[in-house]
Amino acid sequence: MEQFNKSQETHLWYTEYHTPNSGITLKVKETLLRVKSPYQELVILDTYEYGKMMLLDGLVMLTERDEFIYHEMITHMPVNVNPNIKKALIIGGGDCGTLRELSKYPFIENIKMVEIDEEVVKASKKYFPQLTSGLSKNSEIIIGDGIDFVEKTNEIFDLIIIDSTDPIGPAEGLFTDAFYSNCRRILSENGMMVLQAESPYFHADSIKIFSDRLKRIFGFITPYIAFIPTYPSGMWEFIICTKKELDTSLKSKSLIGDFEQMLKYYNHDVHSGAFKLPTFVKKIYGI
């Protein structure tokens, strides 16, 4: 049998550090794109384990293999809590995965996505067509700053999804009092704002700070979690913000019935399970 000598193996590996001493390391087939936009560096790598992967400023945004978890969970959880959604707004989300999931609900009459970086949308169309195909005819992609958009608009939305990068670079202003106050102003009385809130395992301190801010501004916050293999620690937090206390039960069991076969993570059991938090996560929220 031919002896495989590991020391002679020459491959590219990519590491995203999650802490100074740990991270995720993936073996790379090739670099498909490297572009510097006015906002960030965008890189697309083809990896052996997770397929194509999008990085912004060196951080994993999504991979072909596990993107479904994030996009299903940031979308179907709020919609199935309150299906009375006619108008939806996505801030960020340039890869179009969240837009793809929202497009599955024919009763949503209008979806606007405001993404600051056109390069992200262009790259997604070219390298991740599974994210950008089948978008609702009622959807509109606006290239612009989400902070400006919510400051200037007087349109009212039933669902606002903040699908942003972490609070550095162009996304810094998406975590401020001013931005959240404007989101609340343009949210209908029974509306919901949902955002991705980093890893409760690694980012407990920052989650505590901005969840307190969200509670003060909106009145009510409801956190939930999902397992996402390529994000730091794998455990990822989402928060639904509302003006009234939220009843998290499934409102209509038939709502996702028609396309449940098309989903790979979200289902009725996950819906109720995701709101059940481990003790160390409850402690972050003082519950």
d(CA 133, CA 105) in angstroms, rounded, equals: 15
Between 204-218 and 177-185, two packed helices, what is the crossing angle to 10 degrees?
Answer: 40
With CB atoms as reference, the residue minimizing the distance to ligand SAM is 92
Is there binding between residue 146 and ligand SAM (CB under 6 A)?
Answer: yes
d(CA 186, CA 188) in angstroms, rounded, equals: 7
One of 80, 103, 136, 164 touching ligand SAM (CB under 6 A): 164
d(CA 77, CA 274) in angstroms, rounded, equals: 9
Segment lying near ligand SAM (by CB under 6 A), choices 165-173, 204-212, 262-270, 271-279: 165-173
3-state SS assignment for residue 132: helix
Q: Does residue 165 have a known ligand-binding role? A: yes
State the DSSP code for 105.
Answer: -
Measured from the CB atom, the residue of 114 and 214 that comes closer to ligand SAM is: 114
Q: Does residue 212 have a known ligand-binding role? A: no
Measured from the CB atom, the residue of 101 and 163 that comes closer to ligand SAM is: 163
Which residues, in sequence order, are bridge partners of residue 195? Answer: 162, 239
Q: Does residue 203 have a known ligand-binding role? A: no
Residues numbered 264 to 283 that lie near ligand SAM (CB under 6 A) are none
Half-sphere exposure of 160 toward its Cβ, with a 13 Å CA cutoff?
Answer: 29
d(CA 238, CA 257) in angstroms, rounded, equals: 24
In the chain, count of helices (H) and strands (E)? 9, 12
**Minimum distance from residue 245 beta carbon to ligand SAM (Å):** 28
Measured from the CB atom, the residue of 49 and 258 that comes closer to ligand SAM is: 49
The catalytic position among 117, 148, 163, 212 is: 163
Active site residue 163: yes
Cβ atoms of 54 and 123 closer than 8 Å? yes
Q: Which amino acid does the sequence have at 272?
A: S
**Minimum distance from residue 117 beta carbon to ligand SAM (Å):** 4
Q: Does residue 260 have a known ligand-binding role? A: no
Segment lying near ligand SAM (by CB under 6 A), choices 93-101, 153-161, 214-222, 244-252: 93-101
Segment lying near ligand SAM (by CB under 6 A), choices 89-97, 103-111, 247-255, 269-277: 89-97
168-185 residues labelled b (16+ CB within 10 A) or e (exposed): eebbeebbeeebbebbbe
Segment lying near ligand SAM (by CB under 6 A), choices 19-27, 101-109, 166-174, 258-266: 166-174
One of 78, 93, 191, 223 touching ligand SAM (CB under 6 A): 93
The pairs formed by 17-22 with CB atoms below 8 angstroms and a separation of 24 or more are 18/199, 18/202, 18/232, 18/233, 19/202
One of 91, 108, 161, 221 touching ligand SAM (CB under 6 A): 91
Q: Does residue 3 have a known ligand-binding role? A: no
Q: What share of the chain is helix, strand, coil (3-state, %, to 5)?
A: 35, 30, 35
Is there binding between residue 232 and ligand SAM (CB under 6 A)?
Answer: no
Binding site for ligand SAM (CB under 6 A): 39, 56, 61-62, 70, 91-95, 114-117, 120, 145-147, 163-165, 170-171, 173-174, 196
Task: Report, as residue numbers or ranges, the catalytic residues.
Answer: 163
